[in-house]
Structure 1
Amino acid sequence: MKILFTRKLPEKLIEPLKERYTISMWTEENDPMPRELLLKEVADADAIFTNVADQIDKELIEQAKSLKVISTMAVGYDNIDIDEATKRRIPVGHTPGVLSEATADLTFALLMATGRRITEGMDVIRRNEWKSWGPFLLTGQSVYGATIGIIGMGRIGQGVARRAKGFNMNILYHNRSRNPVAEEELGATYCSLEELLQQADYVVLLAPSTPETRRMIGREQFALMKKSSIFINTSRGTNVDEQALYEALKSNEIFAAGLDVFETEPITADHPLLQLDNVVALPHIGSADIETRMVMGRLAIQNIEKGLAGERLIHCVNEELYK
């Protein structure tokens, strides 16, 4: 049986598969597999190892006549037509849980970098503009003891809350339902979205990508935030109205933003948000520590092996197939 890998993976992950499967792998490290080639290669594939950059839509699924399993090396799966896969009785695997701590690390790193203007400070030195110590040179916002508002108290949200607790931060959260663990173990306080936006010094968006969360943060929400507040998004770019965010930052309606995700990815150097000094932007690297990515890769491969053997996936998006 043939497994199609849409990204180059380390040999140590692939070597154990070579005796049992035919491997087809796109060899470019950072560039996505061209759509035309993807459609051609998937035509006779029994399994596809994919990622958030690939559009696994109805056209592709219909093209893949032999497809038995789809496995994405990610938690999110909004790039996959789950309804079409389910209709074709193709299980879709993903990798939840294993990337929570790495993403929480990066989220808090963005929080500190924006609050304390870290990248702006580096740019001042690189431009040879640091002439002397100044009493208010690059002054930012306090982190220790500040109020953090977490939108989406899942695994990653709880990870961010644990880090915030170490900084003696007042933790607010908003979620579809209350999280007793976060309240009892982390001292988090549940509140409405409006209350969170009005009170938080740092607003951290960690909501999943759903039709309900699309552009859930826009002009109305930024208007509720403090002028000194900082917005962090490590969830999905589609959860934010980017034009509204740009306007809020440019007019100093909010202090700064730290972003790891964008509505359309990848972005280019001429993106409006990158023209602002009060933005720290990263290329969707929330889970990008070596150990985490290796674990994600192994789990995605295990989902494929389970699917090809006709067994239940370890983590399956469309579990109704097993009922």
Structure 2
Amino acid sequence: MSKPFVFVSRVPPPRGMELIEEFCTVKAMRDDRFITRQEMLEGVVGVEGILCHPPDKVDKEVLDIAGKSLKSVSTMSVGLEHIDLTECKARGISVGYTPGVLTDATAETTVSLLLATSRRLKEAFSAVVDGGWGTWENGLYLCGKTLLESTVGIVGLGRIGLAVAKRLQPFGVQKFLYSGNTKKEWASEINAEFVSFERLLGESDFVIACCSMNKDNMGLFNKSAFSKMKNNAIFINTSRGVLVNQEDLYDALKLGTILAAGLDVTSPEPLPREHPLHTLKNCVITPHIGSATVYARNAMAELAAKNLIAGLKGKRLPSPVPQ
């Protein structure tokens, strides 16, 4: 019996690839670079399954070229904006994703970015290299902002938001606020108060975006939102770049509307080197490394592979996308 034919747009870590190659005949993009659109279109011809990764788009054109043989699409990500879910559903194609397994890694990155931003590590690293290292002749030299007795606002208290809050508790945070579509029963674990988005912005010393992306919250953090924040507030985003109007963020940081920002996600990615956000000393940007631990990436790869294979077998996926 022949193995199902699948296309892999970017080779995942070993735990995932080994599973796929055991069960499937694989055509894969094995170079260490982004796949081109043409390579994607050529690669999916006649396949039964696709394993992809943002930003590799699985849209109507890709689905049309793959044809009626396509049964299963699996992405090694939590984000789903690169997949046309409506078209997949209409064609009866199963789609899986990888939430949960990257929660701890992303929470660690969020806290790291918050600390790096609040304690001005970008400026401190530069001071060591460029000769600006002071000798404390000024008692406030490179002083930053503390979490002690602060109010932390989390926009989107899901798995990652809760994990972030639990990691921040030992720093002496006085109060957690959260906003979102509904109250969360697990908010009691951190004694967090459910408030409006506007109140969260106005009262928080740190505003952390942990919400998923949808058509209603694109550009949620814009000029209006930043104007409601304290002028010594710090904004952190490890969720999705499109949640932020980056031009408005630049203005807010440049004009002192808010104190600083830390971003692990941008729009687009990579953020062009000439983008003005790179010029700001009060903006720390990392290259979307939220899930970048060996443990998390292997766990994501394994789950993505299991989703792909389950879809090929016509079985329930371990982690299907929400319908």
> What is the aligned partner in structure 1 of residue 274 from structure 2?
270
Aligned-pair identity in percent equals 38
Query: In 2, distance between residues paired with 1:295 and 1:16?
Result: 12
TM value normalised by structure 2: 0.95
TM value normalised by structure 1: 0.95
Query: In 1, distance between residues paired with 2:229 and 2:197?
Result: 11
For the pair 1:176 / 2:218, whether they are aligned, the reply is no
Q: What pairs with 1:86-235 in structure 2 (closer than 5 Å)?
A: 86-133=89-136, 134-169=138-173, 170-182=175-187, 184-235=188-239
TM-fit CA distance, 1:19 = 4.4
> What is the aligned partner in structure 2 of residue 35 from structure 1?
37
In structure 2, do the counterparts of structure 1 residues 185 and 12 end up closer, same or farther at CA, with 3 Å as the change threshold?
Answer: closer
8 Å CA contact 1:97–1:155 kept in 2: the answer is yes
Query: In 2, distance between residues paired with 1:17 and 1:177?
Result: 39
In structure 2, do the counterparts of structure 1 residues 38 and 145 end up closer, same or farther at CA, with 3 Å as the change threshold?
Answer: same
In structure 2, do the counterparts of structure 1 residues 19 and 112 end up closer, same or farther at CA, with 3 Å as the change threshold?
Answer: closer
Query: In 1, distance between residues paired with 2:23 and 2:98?
Result: 23
In structure 2, do the counterparts of structure 1 residues 315 and 19 end up closer, same or farther at CA, with 3 Å as the change threshold?
Answer: closer
Q: Which runs of 5+ in 1 are unaligned?
A: none
For the pair 1:294 / 2:293, whether they are aligned, the reply is no
> What is the aligned partner in structure 2 of residue 2 from structure 1?
5
Please give the per-residue CA displacement for 1:172-191, whole angstroms capped at 9, x wherever unaligned. Answer: 11011001211x21111111
8 Å CA contact 2:160–2:210 kept in 1: the answer is yes
Query: In 1, distance between residues paired with 2:298 and 2:251?
Result: 39
8 Å CA contact 1:86–1:318 kept in 2: the answer is no
> What is the aligned partner in structure 2 of residue 281 from structure 1?
285
Please give the per-residue CA displacement for 1:178-225, whole angstroms capped at 9, x wherever unaligned. Answer: 01211x211111111111101100000111110011111111110011
Partner residue of 2:261 out of 253, 257, 263: 257
In structure 2, do the counterparts of structure 1 residues 64 and 318 end up closer, same or farther at CA, with 3 Å as the change threshold?
Answer: farther
TM-fit CA distance, 1:9 = 2.7
Query: In 2, distance between residues paired with 1:124 and 1:286?
Result: 27
Query: In 1, distance between residues paired with 2:11 and 2:21?
Result: 15
TM-fit CA distance, 1:40 = 0.5
Please give the per-residue CA displacement for 1:210-244, whole angstroms capped at 9, x wherever unaligned. Answer: 00111111111100111100000011111111111
8 Å CA contact 2:207–2:233 kept in 1: the answer is yes
Please give the per-residue CA displacement for 1:265-303, whole angstroms capped at 9, x wherever unaligned. Answer: 111221111111101001111111110110000000000
Q: Equivalent residue of 1:18, what SS?
A: helix
Q: Which one is further off, 55-64 or 153-162?
A: 55-64
TM-fit CA distance, 1:70 = 0.6
Partner residue of 1:62 out of 54, 64, 82: 64
8 Å CA contact 2:15–2:301 kept in 1: the answer is no
Q: Equivalent residue of 1:7, what SS?
A: coil
- Aligned pairs, number: 317
Write the letter of the residue equivalent to 2:105. A
Query: In 2, distance between residues paired with 1:64 and 1:258?
Result: 40
Q: Which runs of 5+ in 2 are unaligned?
A: none
8 Å CA contact 1:51–1:72 kept in 2: the answer is yes
Higher RCO (Cα < 8 Å, 6 or more apart): 2
TM-fit CA distance, 1:145 = 2.1
8 Å CA contact 2:48–2:71 kept in 1: the answer is yes
Write the letter of the residue equivalent to 2:41. L
The alignment yields a C-alpha RMSD, in angstroms, of 1.3
8 Å CA contact 1:2–1:46 kept in 2: the answer is yes
TM-fit CA distance, 1:12 = 4.7
Query: In 1, distance between residues paired with 2:134 and 2:165?
Result: 38
TM-fit CA distance, 1:312 = 1.0
